[in-house]
A and B are shown apart, each in its own frame.
Chain A
């Protein structure tokens, strides 16, 4: 499992999980979010365009990241989820909390 991490404008960080975000990779995503927060960049967009599969552990890492970024005065937003990821968000009703955005740019602009 690989992650692309990119610092973008306005102090935000974009993290893009490549492949399956499951029990075996969820801890790494949470660690990357924590690292961004500790670097003074608590605004994080998780770009899910290349995340082919997410389980409840992956979702848990997103929720943990949301808590960590908000505690630091930032936010965690998600962009471009695949059909499988959207299904997991909807079935757990977590799409209310982690509202999917159509693009990384839209996620950065979202209030």
Chain B
């Protein structure tokens, strides 16, 4: 059954490992209030979102004493969306990098995001880094 109003979850906190754990819990909370989201879309969206937040945590350069992150998740009738905003220093993000060598121990995060969601944008707006993700639901059958 489609939801009458979009289900929404908001998380906020310093850019650290605890935030990453909170994101997993926030996603579970979102699915609990949006039972119509298909399992495959849940899994793929969570993969992308966790990569975004891990990227923010790993590469956050504080403009002040710490980097503050706000994560907004919404699920409507046809798609699930995330907006991740941090107040850290400008981060260079190369969206055209593709996959690294097989022996590389890092550098697969952005490629994973691009392969799991339909829309993925990153922009520097004022003093903030803004990441937006969206995944439309896979038709059943």
Closest Cβ of chain A to B64, distance in Å, is 23
Residue B109 lies at the interface, judged by CB distance under 8 Å to chain A: yes
**Binary interface profile of A, 57-81, with partner B (CB < 8 Å = 1, else 0)?**
1011101100100000000000000
> Could you say which residues of chain B place their CB within 8 Å of the CB of A64?
105
**Would you list which residues of chain B between 23 and 52 have a CB under 8 Å from chain A?**
24, 43-44, 46-47, 50-51
Closest Cβ of chain B to A42, distance in Å, is 17
* A84 touching B102 in the complex, CB below 8 Å, given contacts A23-B54, A24-B21: no
Known: A22-B20, A91-B111. 13 other contacts (CB 8 A): A20-B21, A24-B17, A53-B50, A55-B50, A56-B108, A56-B109, A63-B102, A63-B105, A67-B105, A84-B47, A87-B44, A92-B99, A92-B108
A-B contact pairs, 14 of them (CB 8 A): A22-B50, A23-B17, A23-B58, A24-B17, A24-B20, A53-B24, A56-B106, A87-B43, A87-B44, A91-B111, A91-B112, A91-B116, A92-B112, A93-B99
Q: Indicate if the CB atoms of B43 and A56 lie closer than 8 Å.
A: no
Residue A5 lies at the interface, judged by CB distance under 8 Å to chain B: no
Q: Indicate if the CB atoms of A53 and B20 lie closer than 8 Å.
A: no
In the complex, A96 Cα to B104 Cα: how many Å? 14
Residue A102 lies at the interface, judged by CB distance under 8 Å to chain B: no
> Could you say which residues of chain A place their CB within 8 Å of the CB of B20?
22-24
Interface residues of A, count at CB 8 A: 24
Q: Which bracket fits the contact residues of B?
A: 20 to 34
Residue B125 lies at the interface, judged by CB distance under 8 Å to chain A: no
> Could you say which residues of chain A place their CB within 8 Å of the CB of B17?
23-24
Closest Cβ of chain B to A81, distance in Å, is 13
Closest to A23 in B: B54
Residue B115 lies at the interface, judged by CB distance under 8 Å to chain A: yes
10 nearest interchain CB pairs?
A: A24-B17, A60-B105, A56-B108, A56-B109, A64-B105, A23-B54, A91-B115, A97-B102, A60-B106, A92-B108
Residue A94 lies at the interface, judged by CB distance under 8 Å to chain B: yes
Q: Indicate if the CB atoms of A22 and B54 lie closer than 8 Å.
A: yes
In the complex, A94 Cα to B105 Cα: how many Å? 11
> Could you say which residues of chain B place their CB within 8 Å of the CB of A91?
47, 111-112, 115-116
> Could you say which residues of chain A place their CB within 8 Å of the CB of B115?
91
**Would you list which residues of chain B between 87 and 141 have a CB under 8 Å from chain A?**
99, 102-109, 111-112, 115-116
